[in-house]
Every structure is written in structure tokens, then in C-alpha cells.
A and B are shown apart, each in its own frame.
Chain A
Amino acid sequence: NAGVTQTPKFRVLKTGQSMTLLCAQDMNHEYMYWYRQDPGMGLRLIHYSVGEGTTAKGEVPDGYNVSRLKKQNFLLGLESAAPSQTSVYFCASNEQGVARYGYTFGSGTRLTVV
């Protein structure tokens, strides 16, 4: 049982390049989330999913796209990376209700856009 696994752990991109961050969970959780963490700004929600095949926008969705084709995977895409997207990205999952269980976080992806 690996929990929530994020790939890659580190990446450096050039402005304008694209990439996909992968989040995989083996706990059969329905809900999955992508947050970004920046100094002094806490964790801000980018996109989330309430089940396979669903996605929804969070607080800071611009410049990102997501897909949840399989229940265990939640992909975050950057089509044209910008320096403002330099951040640490955390994926999280939840079984069926935050009010009961809270989040399980992945270990994070540190992305630098130059």
C-alpha cells in the first residue's frame, strides 16, 4: 500500500514547455485534488475531482488542465509553462468525505520554470 504517489519529484522546465504531473493512489479513494504551495500563500487548490471522469476548477485553475480517466490517477497538465508556475505541487486524496477522514497527501513535486 503506497498511499499517494507523485511523479516526478523534481523538474526544471523552460518557459513555454509542457509537462504532465502524475498522481496515483492505491486506496480506492473517490476524491482527488491538486494544490500548489508558494511561500506565504499556503496551499491553494488548482483543480479537483469527485470521481472517475469528473474534474472541477479550484481557486487558481488558470494555466492548468486535469484529467481523471482512471479512478486511481489524477493528471495535472501545464500546456505552456510560465515562471509564475514555479511552485511545489501536492496531490491529495480522500475516501468519501473530508469531514470524516481528511486528506492523504503525496510527497510533492518541485517544479521550476526558467
Chain B
Amino acid sequence: GENVEQHPSTLSVQEGDSAVIKCTYSDSASNYFPWYKQELGKRPQLIIDIRSNVGEKKDQRIAVTLNKTAKHFSLHITETQPEDSAVYFCAAYFTGGGNKLTFGTGTQLKVEL
């Protein structure tokens, strides 16, 4: 079935360091991979996404890489700041119908001063 695994579940970094969150997916036909950031008590917000015809995408301090052969994708945050502290979810769009996303289990990122 459709499955997205996300690691680690918690991540603590010092301010200014980089953070990397990794996800793997089960369906080789998947073609769209968004990342969401959820602050405490708020709704998930799309921060970056990548499509299967691209290997890497950057937006200021965040980037996403995709390895279709290995079926995994990663979120990279550089020069982390306290406001980056949140839960991050990866997701994958499976082409089996329904136009829906399957989410990973989330990573709690804490940026320490």
C-alpha cells in the first residue's frame, strides 16, 4: 500500500547549524513531494515542494532533494533559526487515484540558542 516513512522523529540542533529530515516512499510512480511546517497549535503550511522531474529545489535557506531510484527525498534547512522550531511533515502524491497526499509521521525540530 501507499506508505511514507520519515526520520528522525525528533531533531535538536544549535542555532546556525543545518538540519536534515529524510523520507522514503513506497510507490515508484509517485511524482509530487511537498513539505509542510506546522507550528504549535497551527495548521500545516506548505514550505517547499518538488516534482519527480527535478532532483533539487531551493528556496532561500531551505532545499529539497529527490532520489527517484532510491525512492527517498530530504529536506535541508541551513543556518537554522529559533523560528524554524516546528513539526515538519513530508508527503507524497500516489498516482493510484483520488488525488490525495500520504503524509509521513512528522519530525519535531528544535533549534536551541
Contacts and interface: CB of A to CB of B under 8 A. Distances in A.
Interface of A: 31, 33, 35, 40-45, 48, 50, 56, 58-59, 90, 94, 97-99, 102-103, 105-108
Interface of B: 6, 9, 31-32, 34, 42-46, 49, 51, 89, 93, 98-106
B92 to A, nearest CB: 10
Contacts of B105: 40-42
B103 A43 contact: yes
Nearest to A108: B43
Contacts, number: 55
A50 B99 CA distance: 8
A106 B9 contact: no
A42 B93 contact: no
Nearest to A3: B43
17 contacts: A33-B100, A40-B106, A41-B105, A42-B6, A43-B44, A43-B89, A45-B100, A90-B44, A94-B99, A97-B99, A98-B32, A98-B101, A99-B31, A99-B32, A105-B45, A106-B43, A108-B43
Contacts of B44: 43, 90, 103, 105
